[in-house]
Amino acid sequence: MVKTTQGNDEDCNNFYAASAAPLSAHRTHSAPTGSGRPSAFGPYRVLRLIGGGGAGWIYLCRTGDGSRVAVKVAGPAAGIECLRRESAACAAISHPNVVRVVGSYWVTPSPYLALEYIDGQSFRQLVQANGPIPARLAAEYGRQTACGLSNLHAAGWVHRDIKPSNLMCTRTGQVKLIDFGAAARVDAADNPSTGWGSVLYLAPELARRPNLTDPRSDVYGLGAVLYYLLTGRSPSPAGTDAGLFLWALTADARPAPRLGRRVPAELAMAVRRMLAPDPAHRHPSAAAVAEVLSRWQKATSRQPK
């Protein structure tokens, strides 16, 4: 069985944006309100509820020194296991393009995870507000994402849920990879048996083998995100979850989707390779993707704008 999200449900994972619209419209479970809302999580004083859903709730909090953090509390659809995976994956590396864990508390009944607060927007919000973004900017966002993923993979982890709402861009243009609740170790014997992610961005091999932990699945997800940034739509057709899941299962019968004439040919070729249905035909690693995008950026920077 594969757990999927489609349409507006994607924003349920976008917990960190300062400029995000209220997420109450996307909730599938009620959050504590009024006197039932917590006033603090350990040393973190609650300022307001940012949003969430069945997977968990995120609160904007302030520390004793005045800095802001995002405190994540497990919801009924995910549980403490997702928080523990997120904590372990984020703690495995320290990289500017990966959200940073600043604290945790695992004692029931109120375990939580404290993360750096990201002042910015998700890729999904950027495209919804402005439409497709320029090719050079998309390549830079893709390069930063690939650098974060490369370090994650080198530490032995696979994200497995790369999509526009799980990538943030700060006000200074720095990309942050967030939401590691579906992450799994490459060498672990007890990886989740349930696939995760939006079918719109799901690698075909994850549709067939939900517990697969292949870094090349993240390469596909990054290709799907770049496709979205450049065209304003996902590489998968619109439809029901069941129809999209069938589309992912039968991806081997189709070539990777084209991006249109507006996208420079060399960049389009790189994105289409990331979206190859067969993992063996994709770029071999996120590091290789970062190198390809960096070379393209250098080549085009010498061209007149």
**Are 211 and 158 within 8 A, CB to CB?**
no
What does each C-alpha distance from 185 to 178, 182, 192, 274 come to in angstroms?
Answer: 17, 10, 10, 22
Give the closest residue to 77 by CA, choosing from 55, 53, 101, 100.
Answer: 55
**Are 175 and 167 within 8 A, CB to CB?**
yes
Q: Could you confirm whether 161 is annotated as catalytic?
A: yes
Q: Which of 9, 11, 65, 161 is catalytic?
A: 161
- The total of other beta-carbon atoms located within 10 Å of residue 298's CB is 9
Compute φ and ψ for 3, nearest 5 degrees: -85, 125
Alpha helices in the chain (DSSP H): 80-91, 123-130, 135-154, 204-208, 215-231, 241-249, 265-274, 286-301
Catalytically active residues are 161
